[in-house]
Amino acid sequence: MVNNEKISHAFSKSIFLAEYGEYDDAWKYDDAIQLIHAILSENVGIFRIDICEIRAGKIHFLDDWICDPKEDESNRNFYSRSKKAALFYLEHTCFKGRPDALFILDFTWGPFLIHLDDEGKVELNNMQKSICVGLVALIEEYLEDKETSLEHVVCGLEKGFNECQFTDDQALEKFWGWWGEIEHHFKSGEDAKDVLYKLHRFLLFNLEED
């Protein structure tokens, strides 16, 4: 798991696009370049870059770039090649000088692995994984504005985490830490979509097969 101050600083400059209907993080040009340079030595690649801009409160996509692994290419080689190719693409795109252009980076293991200052996955049993799948769907309903209230999400998360019957200290700290933060947003009347998006990514990460 990445735990690097330079990477965290670069990632902190991201712009969350949920209010425009895209559950992605984007960066200004210089910040995107800085982030890629910060992860050059890390075991992560870049599958895709989307360039967009916000006009009249809506996202308009301008261009995209995709890098797929070659047949029989090792992960290490792909990670290295894709980051170098991403830098080449960004340095030569015609949108390089546009101050309103935003760059969405699609990492091989997701930006949440950088965003979450974590030391590794929480080991889940089959029952816990099944419950977490349901919680992912619950969060998605809220994020997609399908008439699901934040109160319903808070209650659903509390019920689900209780049913998971966590005994591991790491799991207890992480899962209930998320719930506490979301409950705080609910009680204070603050917008919780950003933190729910992060929890959504955290759950998906822990549901991934090793």
pLDDT score of 93: 95
pLDDT at 117: 43
End-to-end Cα spacing for the chain: 13
- Give the mean pLDDT per block of 10 residues along the chain (210 residues): 65 82 86 92 87 93 92 88 96 92 83 44 87 92 82 92 86 82 84 81 76
Is the residue at 120 inside a domain? no
3-state secondary structure the chain: CCCCHHHHHHHCCCEECHHHCCCCEEECHHHHHHHHHHCCCCCCCEEEEEEEEEECCEEEEEEEEECCCCCCCCHHHHHHHHHHHHHHHHHHCCCCCCCCCEEEEEECCCCHHHHCCCCCCCCCCHHHHHHHHHHHHHHHHHHCCCCCCHHHHHHHHHHHHHHHCCCCHHHHHHHHHHHHHHHHHHHHCCCCHHHHHHHHHHHHHHHCCC
User: Position of tokens 């209907």?
Assistant: 21
Q: Do 93 and 146 have their domain in common?
A: no
Distance (Å, whole) CA 164 – CA 175 = 10
Do 137 and 180 lie in a common domain?
A: yes
Total number of domains constituting the chain: 2
Q: Identify the residue whose tokens are 């998320």.
A: 178
Tokens 């309103």 belong to residue: 100
Question: Which amino acid, 26?
Answer: A
> Rounded to whole angstroms, how far apart are CA atoms 200 and 100?
28
Residue the block writes with tokens 């207890």? 172
Q: Are residues 42 and 74 in the same domain?
A: yes
Whether 130 and 106 map to the same domain: the answer is no
Question: Which of 115, 145, 172 delimits the end of a domain?
Answer: 115
Instruction: Tell me which residue range forms the domain holding 45.
Output: 5-115
Residue 119 confidence (pLDDT): 46
Please give the pLDDT value at position 138: 92
